Structure 1
Amino acid sequence: MQRLTPLLLIGAALAWLTPAQAQTPDYIIQSNSAPVRSLTQPAQAPRAAPASAPRSAPMSAAPQASAPVAKPAPARGKVRIGVILPAESSALGEAAAVVRNGIEAAAQVDQNAELVNVDATSDNVVDRYREAVAEGVNVVIGPLSRGSIAQLAPSVTVPTLALNSIGREVAPNPKLYSLSLIVEGEARQLAQLMRDDGRTNPLLIVGGDALSQRLAAAYSAQWKALTGKPVNTLALDPANLLAALQASGQADSLALALDAAQAAKLKAALTPDMAVYGTSQLNAGGNQPELAGIRFVDMPWFLMPDHPAVRRYPRPAAALTTQTERLYALGIDAYRLAVQLAGARANAGLRLDGVTGDLRLGRDRVFDRQLPAGVMGGNALQ
């Protein structure tokens, strides 16, 4: 283990994250088609830059074998946060680097915690966790993968914020919490948004990829829970939009479980008065005139850049893909929640006006994300 200095970056070569990797159930981002070499550059300063965070002192030399190992004391008034991520993993190392960059950016701004870097995979996460706690860590961010979470859960002894969903196979532990970017949460909010907008007969159009299938399943379940009726669903054939256009004539709105390219082709063939809805899956960043008018949900990091809780934190120096930048934002909120968890005596009602959403501690110690809605082609909040 080594202490982190602000914006410290791993030196391992970073691989591209492919859409196929991103859509596996164990993965926490949606899609990404660009490398993250921008992480080799320092983050941009926020608009109102705070004082620079002090660099952590270098670690002292290892003690003699016969000498007792003293527990390091945290800096006065600061929480000591262990950041347990798979930095050297070929599959998750790149995601870990982005998340860690976000954590370090938040730490540099807020300056109320000391970070301790712990590189761990599912093979050694329990041992690394115990070592970190023994050395004085009093709250943990991580792990990142569901496999590592399941391995670690029975051994959690300090407040630990896992950065993925927690499955039923994970042993319950009152000190284990979860913050994730899973698409199922967005799909449920999309169904609620359409219901609140007065839509009564939506058509759900579904792509063939795994991500769209997951999104559609969650949307369908939520729509039935809200209305008592199943939602009409149509699988999109990329080679033939005629069936979708004919089916849309019987609906008062469309819910898209599609990627941005599929949505653009469909949107171009629709009448202008058709109400169309989607999730952050459609937001690829930049100007997307082909999707103009689609109502969608996404995190404040993109939809509310001038909100005080968002503009406080720096953006990456070089542009990441929109999907990859979501992990950076996740790191920012993970840091802020970790500080709260370390000092909370009673966690019920814990809430954060986060850059990834309005975060509230819900059932089974899972943080629910409530997202704002915007309109494609301007991101005007409504």
Structure 2
Amino acid sequence: MRSAVIVTIVLLASCTAPAPTPPDTQPAAGTVEAFEPASGDAQAMLIAARTAAPQRANDYRLSAAETLLRNDSAVGSILDDVDTDRAAPAQLRRYLVLRARDALRADDAPLALRWLGDGRLQQIPLDRKAQIKLGMMKSDTYAAMRSYLASARERIYVHSLLAATDRAGNGEAIFNTLRELSAGVLRRQAEREITPEVRGWLSLAELAQRHADDPQRTLLEFDNWRIAWSNHPAAQRPPRYLVMLRDVVTRQPRRVALLLPLHGSLAPYGRAIRDGIVGAHYHATAGQQTPPELAVYDTSAADLASVLNEARSDGAELIIGPLDRGRVAETLRIAGPELPVIALNRASADARPATSTRPVYQFGLAPDDEIMQVVRQTRREGHRRVLAIAPDSEWGRRNLDLFAAEWTAQGGDVIDQLVFTPDGDVSRLVKSLLDVDESEARASDLRRITGLTFEHTPRRRQDVDYVFILASPAQAGALKPTLDFYFAEDLPVYATSHVHEPNAGRMAMLDVDRIRFCDMPWKLTPGDSAQKLITAAWPEADGPLAPFFALGVDAYRLYARLRQLESIPGERVHGRTGTLRLTQERIVQRELMWAQFREGQVMPQPMVVAAE
């Protein structure tokens, strides 16, 4: 009996709940305490995602990717871990948009567009805010591909969804995007467009482009457009570019003074600029009852202050010139505060005042803009290591130093430089630059050491991504075949506009085959009506002096657009010397077109104008 009681007690004891774990006892090994990572802490969110449930893990990874993208960090590997099969619709939308943003961060707009066009995204219902965000992303992506018509369409489609306070900015963006296209393209698109709102935007941009060099005609056409399209969003809230036209027209100068060198070494350039201005003036004012007067002052030997005072006394309301770089610096010091000056060169950086109230605008054909464009383009293409070649001259060394400084500032490496003289042995210099002579020397040493006779094909250095040259057409014609001969035919070669002479013979262009360069529209595209008038009157406008005729045309047209350039952020003027922008220091910067020599022809880089 006693033994039975003992057994019963033991059994009851074994069924009793265990005593609670003391507070200071550690959790069993292998368990993880749940925690909520701090907002904005990407690493903490990624750690939390490892042990979270699938949908919660997706949220953590997507939030981490959003945080890192704000810091311009790559997030592809994080998005690879998102479980899209178990993702909720909102998560899938975030995932696809983040994929597109990551592609844009890597400058891969076509890939971004594929993510934004993913069929799964089209099946997800979107609220108004999400529709706007997606439309704006598509617009930005198309713009990055220079598919400007498609970019504008996306903004037009979401325009009615925007809050009233946001529509003005969107309208500005639509108009400015369409102005990237030519008047001819805009007209053809408007004729075939069936959506009224889109057609209205196209016709508005077309009239602005068609009369870009005639503010008075643009204003007249715009007033007629507003009557025909009175219910259009742009009629109710016009772009600032068009609103400012009335002020532009009323401020046109009645007398323009041209300060140019007509004798001496700069005379050919001064006369070309003068003739370009005269041609643009005649073209723009034909039919006007009271066109502005032009007065020419020779600055070849005259004291600049005296010439400025004479022009002012004669009633000039605008001065175009001087041309010489040193005289531009002098103008910055002595010009008065009331008379605007469009100088035709750019003073050196150390000659520019830190601040100035004088309305002196520095506009010219400075190679600085071209060099910066080469740097941006080659970095965008992923190049990092460069060989740079320039002539042994003040111009060559100054611009070679500028290129090296800008390239290094952008994170690139200048592996080596070559400075050549007109009478130097270019073949020997290029051979040394490419280390081909070292390759031959190594083979010679090996033959001497081993006593063997063997065939050897020299090799060039392999630590280079591309070659940049500053050269005239003749110099480039000697350099490019030499680079090819010494095994660098596979290296991309970039240059400034100085390698391109209009109407050069086919044989000369074969020598520079595959060189890629930037140049002005005057030399690369069919001329507008003013250019055709000028080249008919002055055949030399199609030769080596062509850039200076184009400079004269743009200088004459620029004044009418200065107030818009100063007042409207990001405003640009499509000129014959390039696309023009104005900095806060009143320096007019040019962006040129890209082209390439191919089989004896100049091939402009095509521009995408519509979605595929």
* TM-score normalised according to structure 2 size: 0.46
Relative contact order (C-alpha < 8 Å, sep 6+): which is higher?
A: 1
SS in 2 for 1:100: helix
Runs (5+) with no aligned partner, structure 2: 1-212, 214-249, 286-290, 437-459, 606-612
Number of residues of Structure 1 aligned to a counterpart in Structure 2 = 308
Equivalent residue for 1:131, pick from 282, 285, 310? 310
Equivalent residue for 1:376, pick from 591, 594, 597? 597
How many Å separate the matches in 2 of 1:345 and 1:188? Answer: 22
Change (3 A) 1:118 1:234: closer
- In structure 1, the partner of 2:278 is 104
Give the C-alpha shift of residue 91 in structure 1: 2.9
Change (3 A) 1:292 1:349: same
- In structure 2, the partner of 1:305 is 526
SS in 1 for 2:602: coil
Change (3 A) 1:343 1:139: farther
Equivalent residue for 2:426, pick from 238, 253, 265? 238
* Contact persistence 2:326–2:347 (CA under 8 A): no
* Contact persistence 2:345–2:362 (CA under 8 A): yes
- In structure 2, the partner of 1:207 is 391
* Contact persistence 1:163–1:180 (CA under 8 A): yes
Equivalent residue for 1:185, pick from 344, 369, 374? 369
2:553 is the alignment partner of 1:332: yes
Provide Cα deviations, 1:299-335, integer angstroms capped at 9, x if missing partner. Answer: 11111225x5885663253235744221111000000
2:381 is the alignment partner of 1:197: yes
Change (3 A) 1:312 1:213: same
How many Å separate the matches in 2 of 1:141 and 1:347? Answer: 23
How many Å separate the matches in 2 of 1:121 and 1:266? Answer: 36
Comparing 337-346 with 276-285, greater Cα deviation is found at 337-346
Structure 2 counterpart of 1:85, one-letter code: L
Give the C-alpha shift of residue 230 in structure 1: 4.2
Change (3 A) 1:323 1:196: farther
Provide Cα deviations, 1:121-158, integer angstroms capped at 9, x if missing partner. Answer: 57432233223223332111011113333333323331
Equivalent residue for 1:266, pick from 461, 479, 483? 479
Overall identity of the aligned pairs, in %: 27
Give the C-alpha shift of residue 216 in structure 1: 1.3
Structure 2 counterpart of 1:115, one-letter code: L
* Contact persistence 1:139–1:342 (CA under 8 A): no
Change (3 A) 1:108 1:342: farther
Question: What is the 5 A alignment of 1:245-284?
Answer: 245-246=434-435, 249-250=461-462, 251-269=464-482, 270=484, 271=487, 272-284=489-501
Structure 1 counterpart of 2:417, one-letter code: T
How many Å separate the matches in 1 of 2:501 and 2:559? Answer: 29
How many Å separate the matches in 1 of 2:419 and 2:307? Answer: 46
How many Å separate the matches in 2 of 1:184 and 1:115? Answer: 30
Give the C-alpha shift of residue 268 in structure 1: 1.5
Give the C-alpha shift of residue 297 in structure 1: 0.7
* Contact persistence 1:256–1:278 (CA under 8 A): yes
How many Å separate the matches in 1 of 2:307 and 2:391? Answer: 41
Q: CA RMSD in A?
A: 3.0
SS in 2 for 1:235: strand
* Contact persistence 2:260–2:274 (CA under 8 A): no
SS in 2 for 1:161: strand
Structure 2 counterpart of 1:145, one-letter code: D
Comparing 343-352 with 330-339, greater Cα deviation is found at 343-352
Structure 2 counterpart of 1:373, one-letter code: W
- In structure 2, the partner of 1:82 is 256
Structure 1 counterpart of 2:370, one-letter code: E
How many Å separate the matches in 2 of 1:344 and 1:200? Answer: 34
Comparing 327-336 with 163-172, greater Cα deviation is found at 163-172
Change (3 A) 1:77 1:178: closer
- In structure 1, the partner of 2:447 is none
Question: What is the 5 A alignment of 1:46-195?
Answer: 78-111=252-285, 113-121=292-300, 123-153=302-332, 154-156=334-336, 157-167=338-348, 168-171=350-353, 172-195=356-379
How many Å separate the matches in 1 of 2:410 and 2:335? Answer: 38
Structure 2 counterpart of 1:277, one-letter code: Y
How many Å separate the matches in 1 of 2:407 and 2:530? Answer: 31
Give the C-alpha shift of residue 190 in structure 1: 1.2
Change (3 A) 1:329 1:176: same
How many Å separate the matches in 1 of 2:327 and 2:318? Answer: 17
* TM-score normalised according to structure 1 size: 0.71
How many Å separate the matches in 1 of 2:265 and 2:478? Answer: 32
Runs (5+) with no aligned partner, structure 1: 1-49, 51-75
How many Å separate the matches in 1 of 2:564 and 2:571? Answer: 11
- Indicate the structure (1 or 2) with the bigger Cα radius of gyration: 2
* Contact persistence 2:369–2:590 (CA under 8 A): yes
Structure with the largest fraction of strand: 1
SS in 2 for 1:380: strand
How many Å separate the matches in 2 of 1:324 and 1:366? Answer: 23
SS in 2 for 1:215: helix
Structure 2 counterpart of 1:159, one-letter code: P
Structure 2 counterpart of 1:133, one-letter code: R
How many Å separate the matches in 1 of 2:331 and 2:568? Answer: 21
How many Å separate the matches in 2 of 1:347 and 1:119? Answer: 35
How many Å separate the matches in 2 of 1:234 and 1:87? Answer: 35
Structure with the largest fraction of helix: 2
